[in-house]
Amino acid sequence: MSEEKLGFAYFPGCSLESSAREFDESTREICKALGVELVEIPDWNCCGATSAHSLDSTLALALPARNLRIADQIGLDMLAPCAACFNREKIAAVRLSEDESLRARFLDGKPLSIGVRHLIEVLASPPLLERIKRSVQKELGLKVVCYYGCLLVRPPDVVSFDDVENPEMMDDIVRAIGCEALDWSFKTDCCGAGLSIARTDLVLKLVARLIEMAHEAGADCISVACPMCHANLDGRQKAAVKRFGIQTMPVLYITELVGMALGLDPERWFKRHMIPVRLQGKR
C-alpha cells in the first residue's frame, strides 16, 4: 500500500536564505527523503520578524498576509520552519480569519483556505513519525535536550502549538530517531535573541545558563528549531564560555539530527556551526 503524499507551500524566510542555510538545506533534504513535497512560495517576502510588528501594525500584517495570499493560490498549507516566521504568519492568519475588514483590505475579501504549520508539527504527526522510524539508517544513541524557545509556543491561544509550558513534539521526533530526549526545565526559557545587539551582556548570561543546564541534564547536544535561538546558543557560546567558564555544547537544528539518523551527510551543515559538532553517542 503506497503512502499518502504530503505537500506544503514552503516559506523559507530570510534567515534560512542567509545565516541559517543549514536549516534550509537539512529541511529540504529530510523532507525529500520522507516523501514530503515542498513547493517554495514564489516571490515570497520577509514576514516582518522581528522589527515590523514593533514599529508598524499595518506593515506587520501586510507582509505575512501577502505570503499567505500566494500560498492560498497554490492551495497548500504553508510550512514555515523558522519559529519567528511561523509565529508572524500564524498570527496574521488568525487575525485575517477573525476580521472581515482585514480580509477585504489584504485578501480581496476572500477567506483563507489554508493553514500555517511549523515543521515540527508536521514531523511529529503520527504518519511522519512512523516514516521517520522506518527510515532510520544510523543509530545515533545521543542524549538530547530539546529547546523550543519563545516563539513556537507563545501566544498559546493564537499559535496553538503543543503545551506552552512543557511541549513534547520535538522530543517525540528525537525519540523516533532512536535518541533519548532528556527531561529539563528550560524548554521554553528565553535565550535573549531579541536583545542580542542591545544587551549582549544579558544575552551571554542567558546563553550560559541554558548551556550549563543542558550539561547538568546530561545532554550530548541541544536541539533547536529557531534560527535566532541557534544564532544565540551557537554564535554567542564562545563568548559565554570565556566569560563564565562553562563547557561548550553542540547546538543542532532538529532537521540536522533527523538527517544524520536518515543516513544523510551532515558535514556540509556542521561546517557552518560556530561550536564544532563532535558527538559521542553511536555516530
User: 195 burial class (0-12, 13-18, 19+ CB within 10 angstroms)?
Assistant: middle
Residues in the chain: 283
Local confidence band at 162 (pLDDT 50, 70, 90 cut-offs): very high
**Residue 283 pLDDT exceeds 60:** no
**Residue 279 pLDDT exceeds 90:** no
User: Which residue segments constitute the domains of the chain, with CATH numbers given?
Assistant: 6-119 (1.20.1050.140), 138-270 (3.40.50.11810)
What are the φ/ψ torsions at residue 128 (nearest 5 degrees)? -75, -35
Cell of 225: 528549531
The pTM assigned to this predicted structure is 0.95
Mean pLDDT score of the chain = 94
Cell of 103: 480580509
Nearby residues of 212 by Cβ (< 8 Å), 6 or more positions away: 244, 246
**Residue 220 pLDDT exceeds 50:** yes
Local confidence band at 156 (pLDDT 50, 70, 90 cut-offs): very high
Find out whether 154 and 160 touch, Cβ atoms under 8 Å: no
Q: What is the pLDDT of residues 6-57, one digit of tens each?
A: 999 999 999 999 999 999 999 999 999 999 999 999 999 999 987 787 789 9
CA-closest candidate to residue 225, choices 251, 186, 263, 261: 251
Cell 485575517 belongs to residue? 96
- Rounded CA gap, 53 and 248, in Å? 34
Q: What is the pLDDT of residues 56-110, one digit of tens each?
A: 999 999 999 999 999 999 999 999 999 999 999 999 999 999 999 999 999 999 9
The confidence score (pLDDT) of residue 3 equals 64
- Rounded CA gap, 55 and 44, in Å? 21
CA-closest candidate to residue 218, choices 136, 119, 142, 159: 142
